């Protein structure tokens, strides 16, 4: 596929989407959860923490409280004690406590199926809201994490100035119906084939196929 060096950005995107669909036809959500609330908490905990680490912590947390009503009654100190391995435990424990109380008082104990309402919850930024809206409620969204931000730059799909721009660029390149699966597919590919240390833009199959003449590492901007 040497002719890929002549492909446009859109043609590269089309190739990448096809390749990822072949590799990960049904990508699972990497964070263990059972409903919108437990997914919300798991995504909140994943900030600056690996999904694998979160999955070792949430069983104990959800055994204590797996719904807003019960979590709202748990002392912040107890939450912090359990989630400490995830890092940023003072901020995250307070956010979990307060957002649980807000869900009870303002949303009847349910996670709102609404962008604005989600982003008003403490500890819930646009990326977290995007994951919940896409994976819990099925709305088209393209959450951009560090894997996606890095790979989108390596593949020449974005300038990588910031995650907001990366999200806009990817949404323009890929059909809306592919977003929810595609963001997971990119994450898995980034972990397994195009990691920060394992590939510098000249190693993995997608990098070498889309840029066969690239000789030097691709410098990427951090989010």
Give catalytic residue positions.
127, 145
Token pair in block for residue 201: 């833009």
Token pair in block for residue 70: 């019960």
Token pair in block for residue 36: 């919108």
Number of Cβ within 10 Å of residue 22's Cβ equals: 9
Q: What is the DSSP letter of 124?
A: -
Distance CA 24, CA 83 (A): 31
Distance CA 120, CA 124 (A): 7
Stretch (H or E) spanning 100: helix 89-107
Q: What is the DSSP letter of 84?
A: G
Angle ∠(47,157,166) on CA atoms, nearest 5:
35
Distance CA 33, CA 121 (A): 19
> Among positive and negative, which fits the CA dihedral 111, 186, 123, 163?
negative
């Amino acid at each position: 596929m040497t002719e890929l060096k002549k492909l446009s950005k859109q043609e590269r995107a089309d190739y990448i989407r096809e390749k990822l669909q072949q590799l990960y036809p049904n990508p699972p959500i990497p964070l263990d959860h059972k409903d919108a609330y437990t997914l919300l908490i798991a995504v909140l905990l994943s900030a600056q923490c690996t999904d694998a680490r979160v999955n070792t912590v949430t069983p104990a947390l959800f055994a204590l409280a797996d719904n807003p009503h019960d979590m709202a009654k748990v002392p912040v100190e107890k939450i912090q004690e359990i989630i400490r391995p995830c890092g940023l435990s003072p901020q995250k424990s307070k956010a979990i406590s307060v957002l649980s109380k807000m869900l009870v008082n303002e949303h009847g104990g349910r996670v709102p199926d609404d962008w604005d309402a989600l982003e008003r919850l403490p500890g819930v930024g646009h990326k977290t809201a995007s994951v919940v809206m896409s994976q819990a409620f099925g709305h088209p969204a393209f959450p951009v994490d560090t894997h996606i931000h890095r790979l989108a730059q390596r593949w020449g799909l974005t300038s990588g100035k910031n995650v907001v721009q990366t999200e806009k660029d990817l949404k323009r390149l890929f059909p809306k119906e592919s977003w929810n699966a595609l963001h997971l597919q990119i994450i898995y590919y980034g972990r397994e084939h195009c990691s920060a240390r394992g590939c510098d833009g000249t190693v993995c199959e997608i990098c070498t196929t889309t840029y066969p003449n690239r000789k030097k590492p691709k410098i990427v901007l951090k989010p």
